[in-house]
Amino acid sequence: MRQLAGRRRPHLSHTVGFWLVAYAFAVTMAATTVPTPLYPIYQQRLGFPGVLVTVIFAVYALGVIAGLLAFGQVSDAVGRRPALLVGLTLSGLGTAVFLLPAHLPALFAGRVLTGLAAGMVVGAASAWLVDLAGDGRRAQASMVAIAVNTGGLAVGPLLSGVLAQLVPNPLTVPYAAELILLLVGLASVWAAPETVTRAHRARVRPQRLGVPPEVRGAFAPAVAAGFCSFAISGLFGAVAPTFLLVVLKLPSHVLAGLLVFVLFASSAAGQLLVRRVAPRLALVSGCTGLAAGAGMVAAAVALAQLWLIILAAAVAGCAMGLILGAGLSAINARTPADRRGETASTYFVILYVGLSLPVIGVGIAADLVGLRLAGFAFGLVLAGLVLAILVLLRRTGAERAAPVSAG
């Protein structure tokens, strides 16, 4: 870091800086999903119960929530570059922790650090991309931010799954490769042009949470659907590799990584589709798809069918993208400008709770009644919850469309 700071920074155009920041954003998000295909290896080597896999996965959400609340506004106060340099450094530290001899404290520490980095980088990198794009290209910059964010999440497990399958040190080489990518990301951030003028006495305050009264009608179904979409994402991220190994007898790290890649790549496609569809229609379509995807998960677990779990990942991922894009659009359209930060933070905090708690419940159930029954029950319960949200959405839509009596 000191060597970088001591050198003269190159004068780069905003266009070049845009893609440098996009790269750094992507590799930071990739670091959060690199461990996914490797969980069965950790479980076999360390001999811990299945529920601990889900807890290790879930503590990442605590790091993200802490990052969102503590550092969500830091780039506005101190500048985009310093915020991302700190975020990528945290991600690098978290990745380096995974290079230590495998033991539970290191796994927990690595997950928390990469989560904290993600919570810090997401907002700052998204804002920096919009700044670098300029006023006339803000919509395109937002689309790139969505693609880079979700694309990084998709590439991380695919990269680690392929490397774990090909190399003799599956718990070392994927993290070493990711660490190299993060170091390049640090250099990219250092070189990118700053777009925020730092205040003389910058004050960084924690992000407060809250939902204005006028937004609650749109917020409730959007956050409920988002909670369910993150819950199924947590299932694929924490349990799917073990399902492939235990139920389908497929000890393929590539396949485990590919399954999560399909989920997040489909989610990116769904988020990009939102711009072509009315927010309410996108939310209804997303809930319909998520209910179908959850039902496919239940069927895939019951029937032990690989093709069905891959199809479930594609359907649920696209539905998740539609739900997230439509939910944020509906919320932002109704939220006063001076309260958008706290409303969006509240939305994502609840979603990351959805990423963690339900999957821990699946882990507990799997240890008690077996993975197949736990996964089957999860799929059915989640499908039922999403269908209830869908009914609520249709009822509220019908009430708004009903004519008012003149009395």
115/64 Cα distance (integer angstroms): 4
Greatest mean pLDDT among 12-21, 97-106, 289-298, 396-405: 289-298
Instruction: Give the relative orientation of helices 371-401 and 340-369 as an angle to the nearest 10 degrees.
Output: 150
Greatest pairwise CA separation for the chain in angstroms: 78
97-108 pLDDT, tens digit per residue, is: 999 998 999 999
145-158 pLDDT, tens digit per residue, is: 888 999 999 999 99
Mean pLDDT of the chain: 88
Number of neighbouring beta carbons within 10 Å of residue 30: 26
Query: Across residues 189-206, what is the average pLDDT?
Result: 76
373-393 pLDDT, tens digit per residue, is: 999 999 999 999 999 999 888
Contact 119, 65 (CB under 8 A): yes
Q: Which residues are within 8 A (CB) of 166 and not within 5 positions of it... i.e. 6 or more apart?
A: none
Structure tokens at 116: 């904290």
User: What secondary structure letter does DSSP report for 49?
Assistant: -
Residue 28: pLDDT above 90? Answer: yes
Number of neighbouring beta carbons within 10 Å of residue 46: 12
Return the pLDDT at 204. 65
User: What secondary structure letter does DSSP report for 214?
Assistant: G
300-355 pLDDT, tens digit per residue, is: 999 999 999 999 999 999 999 999 988 888 887 788 866 777 788 888 899 999 99
Return the pLDDT at 54. 93
Contact 178, 30 (CB under 8 A): yes
% of the chain beyond a pLDDT of 90: 62
Residue whose C-alpha is closest to residue 56's, from 108, 125, 106: 108
Query: Across residues 67-74, what is the average pLDDT?
Result: 82
Contact 267, 150 (CB under 8 A): yes
- Domains of the chain in sequence order: 11-191 (1.20.1250.20), 210-401 (1.20.1250.20)
The pTM for the full model equals: 0.89
Residue whose C-alpha is closest to residue 374's, from 280, 247, 260: 247
Range name among 36-50, 185-199, 228-242, 381-395 with the lowest pLDDT average = 185-199
Residue whose C-alpha is closest to residue 222's, from 211, 237, 233: 211
Residue 85: pLDDT above 90? Answer: yes
Residue 293: pLDDT above 70? Answer: yes
Structure tokens at 392: 């609520």
Return the pLDDT at 163. 96
157-185 pLDDT, tens digit per residue, is: 999 999 999 999 999 999 999 999 999 99
36/161 Cα distance (integer angstroms): 8
207-255 pLDDT, tens digit per residue, is: 778 888 888 888 898 999 999 999 999 999 999 999 999 899 998 999 9
Structure tokens at 289: 């798809």
Return the pLDDT at 2. 42
363/163 Cα distance (integer angstroms): 27
Return the pLDDT at 159. 95
Considering only residues 302 and 407, tell me which one the structure prediction assigns the higher pLDDT: 302
What is the length of the chain? Answer: 407
Return the pLDDT at 209. 83
Residue 289: pLDDT above 70? Answer: yes
Return the pLDDT at 405. 36
